Amino acid sequence: MTDHKSDNDIDWDKLLELLDGKEAEASLNEAEIAALAAAREMRARMGAGKFSAAEGWQLFVQERDKRKGRMMRLVKITIAALLILAVGAGLWIMQPAHQPVEVADEIPAGKVRLKLADGRAITIGKDTQVIKNNAGAQIQAAPASLIYTAGGAGEKITAMDTLEVPRGIRFSLKLADGTLVWLNAASRLIYPATFNSTAREVYIEGEAFFEVASNARQPFIVHAGKTAMKVLGTAFNVNTYGPLITATLSSGRLLVTAGQSQTILLPDEQALYNEQDATLRKRTVESRIFTAWKEGDLFFEDATLLDITTILGRNYDYHFVFEDKNLEQLSFTLDMRRPDALQDALNLISKSMPQLHFRVTGKTIYITKRL
């Protein structure tokens, strides 16, 4: 055994073995007895959750004042006891107590807001309410949806209602003509309370899925940025979150117009309009990738971690920060029911990518590489 003795003839190896119960207690000198007793007391108190670093320091100061003549000896004994406990118990006593690990399970605090054409602003809450619209329509507002019922025929409506859905919330809407609209998080839809003109026109910012009620005499037109989508009876998704405006067709036919360019979509086709260079193109896709959110699913196929966290942040109202930028382009496939808490999605990603570490601080999640 290596000789680890120092002043006061303390055998550190012997004390460590005694602390671990590996060796019967033998004859100890005064310094060894003091160090061993101090270590045992601190380990017992720490195991019971009763050890306080502040209290320990206060007791040491009191003992120092009582025994000034033996200060150096007491300091050495105290340090020895701390080192023995740290090695024997596998803990560093002087570290601050560990704070509880935060998890990403906060409920989004935003509220859906309906701005009526007459200037009224209504916050959609937990209770169902009936709202009278000056245009003659009646609106039934529930916690997760609105239903418009058209009134009698009246004058042409030019003013619009606006539905604003915040980050972290999805919402559905039934328009007065029977068209169903699902709005994703951080989206806005502008529309008339009733459709009594030659065309049914609405405006979308963010993302929405439309199931358009068929009416050959009154085409339905969705305006998104500099594009317009004209349909008779069609189900399709529109996304305007980024510099690319996309329209993805699930069923029917869709005419997409941008400036002087036009393209007709068939099911599982997607139109992409680039606002930066004003180009419109078409490609074949699997439409479910772009419409799964409407069914309450999270579906990513070979998507980058940057794209995934951008969508997760918007859907759950969190902010992601990459402390290691190299992690942004990691590719990942995910297909699951959308969990109530973001933490469940992070746990699944961590299982597939064990090199990732997500650190939650309030509403911000820091992404690093696990050491």
For 265-297, the three-class secondary structure string (H helix, E strand, C coil) is: ECCCEEEEEECCCCEEEEEECCHHHHHHHHHCE
List helix spans (H) across 21-52. 30-47
Q: Which residues contact 2 (CB under 8 A, 6 or more apart)?
A: 13
Same domain, 164 and 252: yes
The answer to whether the beta carbons of residues 125 and 145 sit under 8 Å apart is no
Tokens of 229: 């989508």
Give domain status of residue 98, yes or no. Answer: no
Same domain, 143 and 196: yes
The answer to whether the beta carbons of residues 233 and 213 sit under 8 Å apart is yes
How are beta strands 227-231 and 200-205 bridged, if at all?
A: unpaired
Give domain status of residue 99, yes or no. Answer: no
Same domain, 211 and 176: yes
Please tell me the predicted confidence (pLDDT) of residue 190.
98
Give domain status of residue 103, yes or no. Answer: no
Give domain status of residue 342, yes or no. Answer: yes
Give domain status of residue 174, yes or no. Answer: yes
Give the chain's end-to-end CA distance (angstroms, integer). Answer: 34
Q: What is the DSSP string of 169-197?
A: --EEEE-TTS-EEEE-SSEEEEE-SS--S
| Domain end call among 257, 287, 317 | 287
Same domain, 352 and 328: yes
Give domain status of residue 319, yes or no. Answer: yes
Nearest to 370 by CA among 352, 349, 354, 346: 354
In the chain, how many domains are there? Answer: 3
Give domain status of residue 261, yes or no. Answer: yes
The three-state secondary structure class of 141 is: strand
Please tell me the predicted confidence (pLDDT) of residue 73.
52
Any idea what the CATH number is for the domain that residue 344 is in? 3.55.50.30
Nearest to 180 by CA among 208, 151, 161: 208
339 exposure class (CB count in 10 Å sphere: 0-12, 13-18, 19+): middle
Same domain, 13 and 137: no
Cα–Cα dist 32/35, whole Å: 5
Same domain, 250 and 318: no
**At what angle are helices 30-47 and 71-89 packed, to 10 degrees?**
50
**At what angle are helices 71-89 and 12-20 packed, to 10 degrees?**
50
Same domain, 281 and 331: no
Domain that holds residue 300: 296-369
Strand partners of residue 131: 139
Same domain, 83 and 128: no
Same domain, 64 and 124: no
Which tens digits make up the pLDDT trace of 282-327? 999 999 999 999 999 999 999 999 999 999 999 999 999 999 999 9
Which tens digits make up the pLDDT trace of 68-112? 444 445 445 555 555 554 545 444 444 455 567 789 999 899 999
Same domain, 278 and 255: yes
| Domain end call among 27, 54, 89 | 89
Nearest to 255 by CA among 228, 235, 290: 228
| Domain end call among 287, 310, 344 | 287
Same domain, 71 and 157: no
DSSP 119: S
Where the chain has pLDDT below 50, the residues are: 1-7, 22, 47-51, 57, 60-61, 64, 67-72, 74-75, 85, 87, 89-95
Give domain status of residue 107, yes or no. Answer: no
Same domain, 80 and 136: no
Please tell me the predicted confidence (pLDDT) of residue 96.
52
The answer to whether the beta carbons of residues 224 and 245 sit under 8 Å apart is yes
Please tell me the predicted confidence (pLDDT) of residue 79.
52
DSSP 108: P
Any idea what the CATH number is for the domain that residue 167 is in? 2.60.120.1440
